[in-house]
Amino acid sequence: MSTPTIKLNSGFEMPLVGFGLWKVNNDTCADQVYNAIKAGYRLFDGACDYGNEVEVGQGVARAIKDGLVKREDLFLVSKLWNSFHDKEQVEPIARKQLKDLGIDYFDLYIVHFPVALEYVAPEVRYPPGWTNAQDKVKLSNATIQETWTAMESLVEKKLARSIGVSNFSPQLLMDLLRYARIRPATLQIEHHPYLTQKSLVNYAQKEGIAVTAYSSFGPLSFIELEMQNAKDTPKLFEHSAITSIASKHNRSPAQVLLRWATQRNIAVIPKSNDPTRLAQNLQVTDFDLDQSELESISALNQNLRFNDPQNYGLDVTIF
């Protein structure tokens, strides 16, 4: 099963639907990646912070060895963690991540958060985290411009085909676009009916930057993290505004939520361990919601953000 693509400003095509690797356990990761490729997924969205890139690479290698895909059929995404923003650290960590994944280049490499933290060597702690070797949150003096210039060099050295950003505000994007020699190809953001970020999405798309949504199912990903605002928020899968539309189209609530995004040319990266839901999550471009349905889902917006460092008890102000 093939999925539609978005033409990036770098000239490459990115699948509109991919598989997200956040919170995929190490002991099942290789098999999940392999099975997702078998099911038709071609985009895999990872990060060194997820701590499973070696296992992702094992799943990819097995799929290639078994003839399910060629490397060029896949669109592999990873991210630069906050503690590697200093210009001299960007290329070494990117090369480590490529080695862990067993690949020669990223299809897309993203600045994970717009915050620079003090460098912690991979030999000291890996996967990295929000705190330094003394378990303190300490900022680095690296500017976004310094980091982005180093990201651009990865493209020039053919270590990354496209580069992008995540969790950036419109103001940070505006600033980045003033000096970028290579424009960001994508912006990845938390995006679901409780957090529509309409003006940010509109601005990015107007500037030719493709938008990717993470946490498309709202609080679902964060309940298991014991996040109180996620526990207190009605589940989107059970919301009458979603279930009524799902019933009308004979689709699952998950498919409706994903179609709400993809119909507006926003890429999505859900994950599932269940083979049926894995297949269903790919089948979100073969039906359309009408305008009133799109608007009724968007009307659920509460500007409710879950993936905020402060929600994890960290004194880091980004949003």
Compute how many other C-beta atoms are within 10 angstroms of the C-beta atom of residue 313: 7
Query: One digit per residue, pLDDT tens: the chain, 319 residues?
Result: 578 999 999 999 999 999 999 999 999 999 999 999 999 999 999 999 999 999 999 999 999 999 999 999 999 999 999 999 999 999 999 999 999 999 999 999 999 999 999 999 999 999 999 999 899 999 999 999 999 999 999 999 999 999 999 999 999 999 999 999 999 999 999 999 999 999 999 999 999 999 999 999 999 989 988 888 899 999 999 999 999 999 999 999 999 999 999 999 999 999 988 889 999 999 999 999 999 999 999 999 999 999 999 999 999 999 9
For residue 54, which amino acid is it? V
Q: Is the dihedral of CA 190, 192, 194, 196 positive or negative?
A: positive
- Phi, psi (5° rounding) for residue 77? -115, 135
DSSP 236: G
For residue 224, the model assigns a pLDDT of: 84
pTM: 0.97
- The four Cα atoms 152, 262, 104, 150 give a dihedral, to 10 degrees, of 20
DSSP 219: T
For residue 1, the model assigns a pLDDT of: 53
Element of type H or E holding 293: helix 291-298
d(CA 287, CA 133): 50
d(CA 66, CA 37): 11
For residue 18, which amino acid is it? G
* Third-level CATH fold of 13-304: TIM Barrel (3.20.20)
d(CA 66, CA 59): 11
Structure tokens at 200: 């940010």
For residue 276, the model assigns a pLDDT of: 92
| Nearest in space to 269 (alpha carbons), one of 50, 28, 63 | 50
Of 34, 50, 109, 119, which residue is the catalytic one?
50
Strand order in the sheet with 43-45: 19-20, 43-45, 75-80, 108-111, 163-166, 186-190, 210-214, 267-268
d(CA 184, CA 208): 9
Binding site annotation covers 85? no
d(CA 318, CA 43): 28
Domain assignments of the chain as residue spans, ordered by start:
13-304
Full 3-state SS string of 165-218: EECCCHHHHHHHHHHCCCCCCEEEEECECCECCHHHHHHHHHCCCEEEEECCCC
Find all residues with CB under 8 Å of 234, minimum gap 6, and list them.
none
First to last CA, the chain: 38
Find all residues with CB under 8 Å of 151, minimum gap 6, and list them.
80, 90, 109, 111, 160, 163, 182
Structure tokens at 135: 């378990």
Determine whether 119 is an active site residue.
Answer: no
